[in-house]
Amino acid sequence: MTDQSNAILDAAMMHVPFDGWTETSFTAAAQDADVPMAEARALFPRGAVDLALAFHRRGDRALATRLAQTDLSGMRFREKVTWAVKARLDAVEDDKEAVRRGATLFALPIYAADGARLVWETADTIWTGLGDTSEDLNWYTKRATLSGVYSATVLFWLGDGSEGHSATWGFLDRRIEDVMRFEQMKARVRSNALLKPFAQGLERFAASVKAPAQRAPDDLPGRWPPSPR
């Protein structure tokens, strides 16, 4: 993001909790940041919607940096995933109302695809930061299952009034346990003589649409190109 983009986004944090991700907030943020509206529109062609996307992606970048700088080698795998989800929510703890307003915005049918893309990108940021190197069907299922865990946890977190969000972390632990059971089920399918051909068929299908490592970076789910303007 450019300095002007960051300035507008920072300024928006004063308005979004009251006016949501709306034209009112976008206009006020541009004025507060002393950025001419024509330039603000060039940076965020869809106005507040693109500003909300930038807010979410800034959180993902902060998480990627934190993952790169943190030694998680002493943790079990499930603990690493749990830590990463917590870290992502910690990054927006001070802007919880902005997250709530974003959830409302991306629940609208017209912006639902944008919202789904953001959740997938967060899941991809976590798996990539944890060193995931899978290139087969696992690449997709890991991100799909974590997307479900993350989105459910965010919604729970938004309504959680417990001290230190303890109820949210308990909810997250239960969801991660569900993921672990799913991974165990996949392992059993692969080792089962009757079901193994089915699993191999799915993996051949995934390979037929190109494994992620063989795609150009901007062509990957989780690294989708920007929406058409």
- 224 within domain boundaries: no
Question: Within a domain: residue 212?
Answer: yes
Is the pLDDT reported for residue 216 higher than 80? no
Residue 60, domain member (yes or no): no
In a domain, 57, yes or no: no
pLDDT value, residue 200: 54
- pLDDT bin (cut points 50, 70, 90) of residue 201 is low
Range of the domain at 169: 76-219
Quote the CA–CA distance of 27 and 55 in Å, as a whole number: 16
pLDDT tens, residue by residue, 69-102:
999 999 998 899 999 999 999 999 999 999 999 9
- pLDDT at position 134 is 81
Q: How confident is the model at residue 210 (pLDDT cuts 50, 70, 90)?
A: very low
The structural domain count of the chain equals 1
Q: Across the chain, what does the average pLDDT equal?
A: 84
How far apart are alpha carbons 221 and 229 in whole angstroms?
19
Mean pLDDT across the stretch 138-159?
Answer: 92
Nearest in space to 122 (alpha carbons), one of 186, 67, 44, 179: 67
